[in-house]
Chains A and B, each alone.
Chain A
Amino acid sequence: MTLTVWQRLDKTGRNLAPFAVTVMLALAGMIPVPLPGYASVAPFLTAVAVYYWAIHRPDLMGPGTAFLIGLLQDLLTGGPLGVNALVLVLVHWAVSSQRRVLASSTFALMWFGFGLVMLGVACIQWLAFSALQATVLPFRPALFQALLTMAFFPAIAWMLIRVHRAFLQG
């Protein structure tokens, strides 16, 4: 079976959806929200997206893609280069080691798994920033960020499921 140019273009475009959505989430996570104290605990949206796509479409969200998205986020947020890249690659690694369990599980178990991943993310971020600043930074903001991201997980996952159904099935 050979595909015409348009079909191939359409397929490529659809296959880019996970990457594009994750980049959009990276940008959406940087919208300034005028709430006191929000900036320090703003949810880590790209982690949700990498977690979701690594479970459902690991062929379209490989570790390299996760690394690139993390790098883009590092450049955009102005933080030390490589921290978000490291975090997202490790999220991807954590998922792919448990993919069989997660892909066939219920939503609640997926949410629980994400909670564990986010706790790990908070620890890694805290360690990396502390090491790069050569001081011991307070851990609490990272923990609250992780908790807020967990709270946002169902909403973001719902949106990702919609994108998944709209672009990548049928």
Chain B
Amino acid sequence: MKPRNSGSVVRLAAPLRALAQRFSFLLLVLASVALMMVGRIDALSVDSARARVTDAFAPILDAISRPAATAAHVVESVVEVQNAFEENQRLKAENARLLQWKQAALRLEAENISLRSLLKATPEPSSSFITARVIAAPGSSFLRTLVVTAGRRDGVRKGQAAIAGSGLVGRVIEVGEWSARVLLLTDINTRIPVVLERSRQRAVMAGDNSDQTRLLYLPPEAPVQVGERVVTSGHGGQFPPGLPVGVVSSAGERGVRVQPNVDLSRVEHLQLVEFSLPGSEAEPSSESK
């Protein structure tokens, strides 16, 4: 503090400060609105800022998400011990059924290989995957994303499919150095070209922030049955065809709704899958700037 000389500055600064205090709320509100505009206009630099901040906090999020996961495991194992007997019976029955299916699958695979060799069909695109742990979910009513512990240095790229167990979960939308963000199927911004497995009817699956998704652009007379499997169609080149997505849960006047195969609230580990689709080679170079 300088006792002298600052009198005139204070005299000048005091009204300024009062003015600033009076308008600080207004300024901050305007700044927030301006940021919303910037986010709409310059989405790329906002994305990279987000990735940096997420990277910086990823170790903390990783550390604090572990006890929560452990607690959930303990609760789950208690419930499982209670139901062990019935579960065992059910699994035995399921195992017998699956063994039959295995025989069928082996026979079909052999038949497929011999038929392919006869036809000179092009081989299926190969895939490689990275397994990552889920460390954060946004905790907002209007966002459906997950943050995982794998990033650019692990080989994660924007647009990769995120798969957990029995089906598609979402896709990578933002990649940091050691963390990445996955947009879930149920987010309102998700659009995935799909096909109904039995009727081969094409549609676009869209999220609406609820636990189920809906099918868009289905012709009204399309024969949709509840329980029909929904798989990716591979149109648009984002995902390979045939990835299981979900099951039609209701079809009626209010549209067709799909229940995702994976329980999105319980996902702990994800596989981020790179499908080397024909024509997608150009993508990594355009992004690695």
Tell yes or no: A33 within 8 A of B by CB.
yes
User: Shortest beta-carbon distance, A141 to chain B, in Å?
Assistant: 4
Tell yes or no: A93 within 8 A of B by CB.
yes
A70 to B181, CA, bound (A): 19
User: Shortest beta-carbon distance, A20 to chain B, in Å?
Assistant: 12
**Category for how many chain B residues contact A:** 35 or more
Known: A76-B53, A77-B139, A82-B32. A27 touches B64 (CB 8 A): yes
In B53-107, the 8 Å CB interface with A consists of: 53-54, 57, 60-61, 64-65, 68-69, 72
Using a Cβ–Cβ cut-off of 8 Å, how many residues does chain A contribute to the interface with B?
Answer: 54
Tell yes or no: B134 within 8 A of A by CB.
yes
Contact A80 B24 (CB under 8 A): no
Contact A141 B53 (CB under 8 A): no
A39 to B144, CA, bound (A): 8
Query: A residues bordering B, Cβ < 8 Å?
Result: 27-44, 62-64, 67, 70-72, 74-83, 85-86, 89-90, 92-93, 125-126, 128-129, 132-133, 135, 137-138, 141-142, 144-145
Of B38-46, B222-230, B275-283, the one with at least 4 CB within 8 A of chain A: B38-46
Contact B25 A63 (CB under 8 A): yes
User: Shortest beta-carbon distance, A77 to chain B, in Å?
Assistant: 4
User: Which A residues lie within 8 Å of B143 (CB)?
Assistant: 77-79
Tell yes or no: B209 within 8 A of A by CB.
yes
Residue of A nearest to B138 (CB): A77
Q: Which of A76, A81, A93 contacts B39 (CB 8 A)?
A: A81
Decide if the interface of chain A is mainly helix, strand, loop or mixed: helix
User: Shortest beta-carbon distance, B3 to chain A, in Å?
Assistant: 14
- With most chain B CB atoms within 10 A of its CB, the pick from A35, A82, A90 is A82
Q: Which of B40, B65, B134 contacts A132 (CB 8 A)?
A: B40
Residue of B nearest to A32 (CB): B137
Contact B209 A34 (CB under 8 A): no
A137 to B140, CA, bound (A): 13
User: Shortest beta-carbon distance, A152 to chain B, in Å?
Assistant: 12
Contact B266 A34 (CB under 8 A): yes
Decide if the interface of chain B is mainly helix, strand, loop or mixed: helix
Contact A78 B61 (CB under 8 A): no
A90 to B141, CA, bound (A): 19
Query: B residues bordering A, Cβ < 8 Å?
Result: 24-25, 28-29, 31-36, 38-40, 46, 49-50, 53-54, 57, 60-61, 64-65, 68-69, 72, 134-147, 173-174, 181, 188, 209-211, 263, 265-266, 268
User: Which A residues lie within 8 Å of B60 (CB)?
Assistant: 27
A30 to B181, CA, bound (A): 13
User: Which A residues lie within 8 Å of B173 (CB)?
Assistant: 78
User: Which A residues lie within 8 Å of B146 (CB)?
Assistant: 32
Contact A30 B137 (CB under 8 A): yes
User: Which B residues lie within 8 Å of A89 (CB)?
Assistant: 25, 28-29, 32
- With most chain A CB atoms within 10 A of its CB, the pick from B32, B137, B210 is B32
Q: Which of A31, A37, A62 contacts B65 (CB 8 A)?
A: A31
A-B contacts, 17 listed (Cβ < 8 Å): A30-B61, A30-B138, A30-B147, A31-B136, A39-B138, A39-B144, A62-B24, A63-B24, A71-B35, A76-B57, A76-B138, A78-B50, A80-B36, A82-B34, A86-B29, A128-B36, A137-B209
- With most chain A CB atoms within 10 A of its CB, the pick from B38, B147, B174 is B147
Residue of B nearest to A72 (CB): B53
Contact B32 A39 (CB under 8 A): no
